[in-house]
Amino acid sequence: MRPPWWMEGVAFSCQDNCGRCCDEPGGIVYLSITDAERIAQAHDMNVESWLERDCRQTLDGRYILKSRPVDDVCIYLDEKKQCSIYSVRPQQCAAFPWWSENLATDRAWKETKESCPGLTAEDAIIIDGQNIRIHMFADRESTKGFRSWPPRNRR
């Protein structure tokens, strides 16, 4: 079996003041259990209080970040198009552009490259395939999400 095309590495460098991956009205940021713990701690809050303040649940019960009512964009994206919780951002956010859905087909990858200037940036560095794989698995874990706090069946 041939390894995926991206295992050889892909050039990427997140660009200052870009925010295109976050500035999507209607975007959904799924949270892992560790995301909730990490972000709540960064806000000096217990997880339950932070979930109540900054999250909501999807129709199937998974916790996601709230969006701003005025433009339906992530509550943590500031006016400079920067993440105000970048150092503790959710796994799903840190994994972009290495989401399985982006890497699945040539068409999906082409669309991702067109929307993400970090993939064609002059200062891009090669991200090796193992790191890309780690990001893909982190995104998948986040997408599974969690539906209650404290979580049942904690792994």
Measured distance CA(107)–CA(16) in Å, rounded: 26
pLDDT, tens only, 24-72: 889 999 999 999 999 999 999 999 999 999 999 999 999 999 999 999 9
- Residue 155 pLDDT exceeds 60: no
- Band (17; pLDDT cuts 50, 70, 90): confident
> What Rg do the C-alpha atoms of the chain give, in angstroms?
16
Domain ranges for the chain: 5-144
Which DSSP symbol is given to 74?
B
* pTM to 2 decimal places: 0.89
- Residue 16: strand, helix, or coil: coil
Q: Residue 10 forms beta bridges with which residues?
A: 127
Residues 38, 32: Cα–Cα separation, whole Å: 10
Separation of alpha carbons 71 and 80, rounded Å: 15
Which tokens belong to 113?
């490259």
